[in-house]
Amino acid sequence: MTVLNEAAARFGELRMLIDGEWLARGAGGAQPVTDPATLQVLGELPLAAGGELDRAVHAAHAAFGAWSRTPAIERCRLLAQAAQLVRERAELIAHILTLEQGKPLAESRGEVMGAAEIFEWYAQESRRLYGRVIPARQAHTRHWVTHEPVGPVAAFTPWNFPALTPARKIAGALAAGCTCVIKPAEETPATALELARACMDAGLPVGVLNVVFGHPADVSGHLIRAPQIRKITFTGSTAVGKQLAALAALHGAKRCTMELGGLAPAIVFDDADIGEAAAVCAASRFRNAGQVCVAASRFYVQRQAYPRFMEQFRAHVAGLKVGNGLAADTRMGPLANGRRLDAMPGFIDDALQHGGQVAAGGARHEGAGYFWQPTILADMPDQARAMSEETFGPVASVAAFDTLDEVIERANGVPYGLAAYAFTRSAATAMAVADGLQAGMVGINTPAISLAEAPFGGVKESGYGSEGGTEGLEAYLCTKFVAHRA
């Protein structure tokens, strides 16, 4: 069997994982999973109803005691083994990912290896959950601080990174000693199921990880209300994140990590390497067909460099071959679902009405799937929708600027604050943007801001809390202070 056939066959056996049991059917019915490049149905996904969600919560609750007391070195061994299995199966998982999500195979391979690295990072970091001793005020007294796992976690992940995002939440929670009920996106379930399979094959005890699907609002409402669930972690849109955070506050003042939308500015100064900046900006904007929360989206280019930047940016975009992600020469796949495709014309029309120009693309791309041409909107005024709302598609908006202070103010002038980028050879300018930009992550002359060992998260309406780095583990830990007088 070829790896593609094997990947396709996995969609014939989509399951939920509840209390160690792989369930082919759910009381909530089923829904089709579709290939966004061909619109062919890949398989039928079972959906949970209330009873199954309760079972998953009880399983996570029942498993929590033993898992939270499992020695860190054993949790480490298990997560490292899961990482190893994901690596060994990377080619299969990458094909599954491209089939259900659409991104080019090369991107899927990179994402799966990144997911394995996240498991490995958390495996190692689970051995370093140190506390501290505070000098006591009296004799015969000890004061110390420890960190304890917060409890069973409910996790919700979207469809744009079906391997990376579940990996961050599953590995972070498990490394800290928490158990987990995760609801990956129903549009891209099979990749997350492969991560769960790797965990179970590595020897994860029954109930520590549960995977459910269903109607998103019903599932999140049910899980967040469950008293046994102590932590909510969500990646997705700002609108949904606000609703889930409100529910979490109402039903038990539960801890939250919210990784929400972004609209990253990329500022290109006159003194930058313009060719390099244009290449990095194009790669950032059109990766995964623009469906990346940290993608550079609003490009502010200093006036003198503007024509040169545009010329090189357009040249990069002209070289982007659009097609089925399974084809070796494809550089950009389809959008992941019809909603994104339907949203694109509105951004283009609005840009034209506000005086913007279509410098490349701007229309559907041929093919049965959800294809949209890589699009550049030039001379964009700040009032245009694409300058203040996430397009979450392959649309780059470019505008000119004159001064540092002006561009920082414009870059900060949206409710989002996830990532931001700048390109300059001046150390002083680099410091000024690093200090001045309101963002959780800033890349200067580099797009590489998503690393297993570094905190990943936003400010303002892009959410709060970090995933990755030591901060990613803190998100799943409570702090306890103990004073002991002998």
Query: Which residues in this chain contact ligand NAD in the complex, by CB under 6 A?
Result: 156, 158-160, 185, 216-217, 220, 235-237, 239-240, 243-244, 259-261, 293, 339, 390, 392
Question: Are the CB atoms for 467 and 451 separated by under 8 Å?
Answer: no
Query: Looking at beta carbons only, is 343 or 478 nearer to ligand NAD?
Result: 343
Quote the CA–CA distance of 281 and 396 in Å, as a whole number: 9
Is 178 designated active site? no
From the CA atom positions of the chain, what is the Rg in Å? 23
Q: What is the smallest separation between the CB atom of 153 and ligand NAD, expressed in angstroms?
A: 14
Q: What is the smallest separation between the CB atom of 387 and ligand NAD, expressed in angstroms?
A: 15
Question: Are the CB atoms for 151 and 477 separated by under 8 Å?
Answer: no
Q: What is the smallest separation between the CB atom of 392 and ligand NAD, expressed in angstroms?
A: 4
Do the strands 153-156 and 180-183 form a parallel or antiparallel pair, or are they unpaired? parallel
Strand, helix or coil at 298? strand
Which residue of the set 259, 389, 390, 461 is catalytic?
259
Query: Looking at beta carbons only, is 207 or 393 nearer to ligand NAD?
Result: 393
The closest alpha carbon to 55, from 259, 211, 200, belongs to: 211
- The b/e string for 148-158 (b: 16+ C-beta within 10 A; e otherwise) is bbbbbbbbbbb
DSSP letter for each residue of 439-469:
-SEEEES------TTS-B--EETTEE--BSH
Query: Looking at beta carbons only, is 290 or 323 nearer to ligand NAD?
Result: 290
Query: Looking at beta carbons only, is 336 or 404 nearer to ligand NAD?
Result: 336
Question: Are the CB atoms for 108 and 98 separated by under 8 Å?
Answer: yes
Q: What is the smallest separation between the CB atom of 193 and ligand NAD, expressed in angstroms?
A: 15
DSSP letter for each residue of 155-185:
EE--SSSTTHHHHHHHHHHHHHT--EEEE--
Query: Looking at beta carbons only, is 236 or 417 nearer to ligand NAD?
Result: 236
Q: What is the smallest separation between the CB atom of 132 and ligand NAD, expressed in angstroms?
A: 34
Q: What is the smallest separation between the CB atom of 376 and ligand NAD, expressed in angstroms?
A: 20
- According to DSSP, the residues that pair with 484 across neighbouring strands are 142
Question: Are the CB atoms for 185 and 159 separated by under 8 Å?
Answer: yes
User: Who contacts 8 (Cβ-Cβ below 8 Å, separation ≥6)?
Assistant: 42, 99
User: Who contacts 250 (Cβ-Cβ below 8 Å, separation ≥6)?
Assistant: none
Question: Are the CB atoms for 78 and 209 separated by under 8 Å?
Answer: no
- Report the Cα–Cα distance between both ends of the chain, in Å, rounded: 68
Which residue of the set 178, 199, 281, 293 is catalytic?
293
Query: Looking at beta carbons only, is 391 or 438 nearer to ligand NAD?
Result: 391
Q: What is the smallest separation between the CB atom of 186 and ligand NAD, expressed in angstroms?
A: 6
Q: What is the smallest separation between the CB atom of 413 and ligand NAD, expressed in angstroms?
A: 18
Query: Looking at beta carbons only, is 340 or 365 nearer to ligand NAD?
Result: 340
Instruction: Tell me which DSSP letter residue 364 carries.
Output: B
Query: Looking at beta carbons only, is 68 or 160 nearer to ligand NAD?
Result: 160
The closest alpha carbon to 265, from 458, 432, 438, belongs to: 438
CA distances from 62 to 58, 121, 189 (A): 6, 27, 25
- According to DSSP, the residues that pair with 154 across neighbouring strands are 181, 232
Q: What are the φ/ψ torsions at residue 49 (nearest 5 degrees)?
A: -110, -175
Tokens of 111: 């994402």
Question: Are the CB atoms for 428 and 404 separated by under 8 Å?
Answer: no
- Residues marked active site are found at 259, 293
